[in-house]
Chain A
Amino acid sequence: MTAQTTDIHIIAKLSAIAIVLHTAEFFLPSPIFGLKPGIANVVVLFAYYFFNLSSAVYVSLIRVFISSLILGTFLTPTFFLSFSGALSSLGCLAIASYFLNKKFFSIYSFSMLMSLGHVIGQFICVRLFIIQDNGVFFLVPIFIIFAFIFALINAYIVDKIMRVSKSQIKNDKIYP
Chain B
Amino acid sequence: MFKVFKAGDFLILALFCIILIMSMAIYLNLPSGDILKIDYQNQTIKYSLNQNKKIKMGDLDIEIKMGKARVSHSNCKNQYCVMQGWISHINQSILCVPNLFKMTISQKIDEHDSTNY
**With an 8 A cutoff between CB atoms, is B23 at the interface?**
yes
Binding stretch for chain A, among B9-17, B37-45, B60-68, B69-77: B9-17
Expressed in whole angstroms, the minimum distance between the Cβ of B12 and any Cβ of chain A is 4
| B4, B7, B26: residue with the most chain A Cβ atoms closer than 10 Å | B4
Q: Which of B6, B26, B91 has the most CB of A within 10 A?
A: B6
Q: B117 at interface (Cβ–Cβ under 8 A)? A: no
Chain A proximity of B13: nearest CB distance (Å): 7
Q: Using A140-B23, A144-B19 as known contacts, say yes or no to A133 and B9 having CB atoms under 8 A apart.
A: no
Collect the chain A residues with CB atoms within 8 Å of residue B92's CB.
Answer: 135
- Do B16 and A104 touch (CB < 8 A)? no
Asked whether B24 is an interface residue with its Cβ less than 8 Å from the other chain, the reply is yes
**Which residue in chain A gives the minimum CB-CB distance to B92?**
A135
Which chain A residues in 89-113 approach chain B with CB under 8 Å? 100-101, 103-106, 108-109, 112-113
Whether B20 lies near A106 (C-beta < 8 A) is no
Q: Give the residue name and chain of the A residue nearest to B2 (CB).
A: A108
Whether a CB of chain A sits under 8 angstroms from the CB of B98 is: no
A135/B23 in contact, CB under 8 A: no
Given contacts A106-B6, A135-B93, contact A141 B12 (CB under 8 A): no
**Inter-subunit contact A148/B16 (CB<8 Å):** yes
A144 adjacent to B12 (CB under 8 Å): no
Beta-carbon contact of B91 and A105 below 8 Å:
no
Docked complex Cα distance between A104 and B9 (Å): 8
Quick one: which of B1, B13, B27 contacts A112, CB cutoff 8 A?
B13
Instruction: Tell me how many residue pairs across A and B have CB atoms closer than 8 Å.
Output: 55
Given contacts A109-B8, A112-B16, A113-B12, contact A141 B91 (CB under 8 A): no
A152 within 8 A of B: yes
Could you say which residues of chain B place their CB within 8 Å of the CB of A133?
91
User: Which one of B1, B12, B24, B93 has the highest number of Cβ atoms from chain A below 10 Å of its Cβ?
Assistant: B12
**B59, chain A: closest CB distance, angstroms:** 26
Q: Which residue of B lies closest to A100 (CB)?
A: B8
Cβ proximity bits A100-133 to B, threshold 8 Å, 1 near / 0 not = 1101111011001100100000000000000001
Q: Indicate whether A69 reaches chain B with its CB closer than 8 angstroms.
A: no
Q: Is the CB of A105 within 8 A of B8?
A: yes
Can you add 18 more A-B contacts, CB < 8 Å, to A106-B4, A113-B12, A140-B26? A101-B8, A104-B7, A104-B8, A105-B8, A106-B8, A106-B9, A108-B4, A109-B8, A109-B9, A112-B16, A135-B92, A137-B26, A138-B27, A141-B23, A144-B16, A144-B19, A145-B20, A152-B1
